[in-house]
């Protein structure tokens, strides 16, 4: 993740100013090239139509590259990027969400939800008691609503716990 500890107004003359858009443009070109390559691997049925399965993805890739070149040649000013500590917090939140996503199936809803919402709550406002209360309260109340009022198919505790 990019960091720029002096988020003030852009300093003209500095060589690397406006680099955010340039990096974005470069990444988009890489993705677009990969996309075009993946599209070229599409299995083509011999029962194909005049336009075919590859034309549209090719157009999408080509136009993306064109736009990305515009970002590289005429970038907008850099946005203020967060400090390292804040970036780390965001990265941590991403990790928490990923952990929640993969644990939902083996562990069920209640425990992962309690842990994940406590941690996110703590990232937003570092008060341990509030965070814990939010976690436990949300997981139990929301589970009750989802399962018993809305009839959604959520498991309270997963197969890994109950067997």
Partner 1 sequence: MNLKIFRGFAVAAVVSVGAAGSAAAAECIAPANPGGGWDFTCRTIGKIMHDIGVVDQPIQVTNMAGGGGGLAFSHVVTKRDDDPELIVAASSATATRLAQNAYGGLTADQVRFLGAIGVDPGVIAVAADSPHMSLNDLLDAVVADPASVTFAGGSAVGGFDHLKVLMALNRAGLTDIRTVKYIGVDGGADAITQTIGGHTQAMTGDISEVVGFLKAGEIRVLAVFADERVPGFEDIPTAREQGIDVVAGNWRGLYVPKGISDEDYMKWSNALQAVADSDAWAEAMAARGLAPFNKVGDDFQNYVNAVVAEIEQMSREIGVIQ
Partner 2 sequence: MAILIPLAFSFGLDATQALVLMTSVYYGAMYGGRISSILLNIPGDEPALMTTLDGYPMAKQGRAADALVLSGVASFVGALLATIGLMLMAPILAKVAYLFGPPEYFALYLLAFCTLGGVSAKNQAKAAIASMIGLGIAMIGLDNQTGMPRLTFGDLHLMDGIDFLVAIVGLFAVTEIFVFIESHGKESAIGVKLGKIKVPFKDIAHSFFAMLRSTVIGFVAGVLPGAGASLGSFLAYMSEKSIARDKDTFGTGNPRGVAAPEAGNNAAAGGALVPMLTLGVPGSGTTAVLLALLLTLNITPGPLLFDERPEVVWGLIAALLIANFVLLIMNVPLVRLFVKILSVPAWLLLPGITMISFAGIYSLSGSSFDLLLMTAFGLLGYFMRKLDVPTVPIILGILLGKNMEDSLRRAMVISDGDWTYLFSSGISIGLWIAAVAGFIAPMFLRNLLRKPTRPQS
In the complex, the residues that contact partner 1 under the rule CB under 8 A are 45-47, 49, 145, 147-151, 153
- Asked whether 107 and 156 are in contact (CB, 8 A), the reply is no
Q: Does 38 bind partner 2 (CB under 8 A)?
A: yes
Binding mask 104-123 for partner 2 (x = CB under 8 A): xx---x---x--xxx-xxxx
Q: Which residues are within 8 A (CB) of 146 and not within 5 positions of it... i.e. 6 or more apart?
A: 109, 152, 154
CB of 15 or CB of 43, closer to partner 2: 43
Cβ 154 to partner 1 shortest distance, Å: 11
Tokens linked to 154: 């959520």
A 10 A CB-CB count for 161 gives 13
What are the percentages of helix, strand and coil residues in the chain, rounded to 5? 65, 0, 35
Q: Does 124 bind partner 2 (CB under 8 A)?
A: yes
Q: Which of 8, 12, 13, 151 binds partner 2 (CB under 8 A)?
A: 151
| Of 80, 107, 84, residue with least CA distance to 161 | 107
Cβ 74 to partner 1 shortest distance, Å: 37
Helices (H), 108-153: 110-124, 128-144
Report the distance separating Cα 98 and Cα 100, nearest Å.
Answer: 5
Cβ 161 to partner 2 shortest distance, Å: 16
Residues in the chain: 163
Q: Which residues sit at the interface with partner 2, rule CB under 8 A?
A: 20-21, 24, 28, 35, 38-39, 42-45, 47-51, 53, 56-57, 60-61, 63-64, 67-68, 70-71, 76-77, 79, 81-82, 86, 89-90, 93-94, 97-98, 100-102, 104-105, 109, 113, 116-118, 120-125, 127, 130-131, 134-135, 138-139, 142, 146, 150-154
């Amino acid at each position: 993740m990019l960091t720029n500890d002096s988020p003030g107004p852009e300093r003209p003359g500095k060589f690397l100013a406006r680099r955010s858009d340039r990096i974005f443009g470069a990444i988009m070109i890489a993705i677009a090239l990969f996309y075009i390559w993946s599209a070229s691997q599409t299995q083509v049925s011999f029962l194909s139509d005049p336009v075919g399965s590859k034309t549209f993805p090719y157009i999408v890739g080509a136009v993306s590259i064109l736009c990305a070149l515009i970002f590289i040649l005429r970038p907008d000013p850099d946005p203020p990027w967060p400090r390292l500590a804040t970036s780390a917090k965001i990265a941590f939140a991403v990790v928490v969400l990923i952990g929640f996503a993969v644990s939902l199936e083996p562990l069920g809803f209640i425990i992962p939800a309690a842990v994940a919402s406590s941690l996110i709550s703590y990232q937003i406002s570092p008060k341990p008691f509030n965070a814990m209360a939010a976690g436990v309260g949300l997981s139990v109340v929301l589970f009750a609503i989802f399962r018993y009022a809305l009839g959604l198919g959520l498991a309270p505790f997963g197969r890994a716990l109950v067997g």
